[in-house]
Amino acid sequence: MDYPRVLEKKKIYNAGKSTIDAITLSSYEKDFELTFTHNSTAIEGNTLTLIETKVILEDGISVGGKNLREIYEVVNHQKAYRYVKRCINDELQLNERIVKDIHSILTENIMIGGIYRNQEVRISGAGHIPPSGNEMYIQIKNFFVDMSDKKERNPIELAAWTHSEF
């Protein structure tokens, strides 16, 4: 699908969206946030169910028998998602500070975040060897230089490139 068709579909969506009352839209957004948080943390190994995630995020009740890390993961993910939405709403350009802020929010009460690690890490069961902290620092700097060269692309191409490269 080409970009002009996407823009046309967005226009149709926005026209239809304006006919939906605010309470219904809020309900849809709340459901998306909950489902997105559950799915995003589950893909990383979090064992909380969707209902348990809802109880934690919407009712503020902890779930017995679950690791505190898993509870923090869903709480932090929701905070990070909301931070990203604020950055988008404020029309901020993605930069290293925002990436570090997101990392810091995601790792709150789990580990120190928002900084480059200074030790080697391994991913058990994977052949991939993550870069050292110093290498990562250089890769991030290069990523943002390369991203600035891609600004002329339409937003969908830029998002795809950013996702792939990051």
How many C-beta neighbours within 10 Å does residue 40 have?
17
Return per-residue pLDDT of the chain as tens, 166 residues: 689 999 999 999 999 988 999 999 999 999 999 999 999 999 999 999 999 999 999 999 999 999 999 999 999 999 999 999 999 999 999 999 999 999 999 999 999 999 988 888 888 888 888 888 788 889 999 999 999 888 788 989 999 999 999 8
Whether pTM exceeds 0.75: yes
- Spatial neighbors of 80 by CB under 8 A, at least 6 apart, are 102, 105, 106
Q: Are 78 and 57 in contact (CB under 8 A)?
A: yes
The per-type count for the chain, helices as H runs and strands as E runs, is 7, 0
Amino acid at 3: Y
**Radius of gyration for the alpha carbons in the chain, expressed in angstroms and rounded:** 19
* CATH class of the domain comprising 17-115: mainly alpha
Domain ranges in the chain are 17-115, 129-166
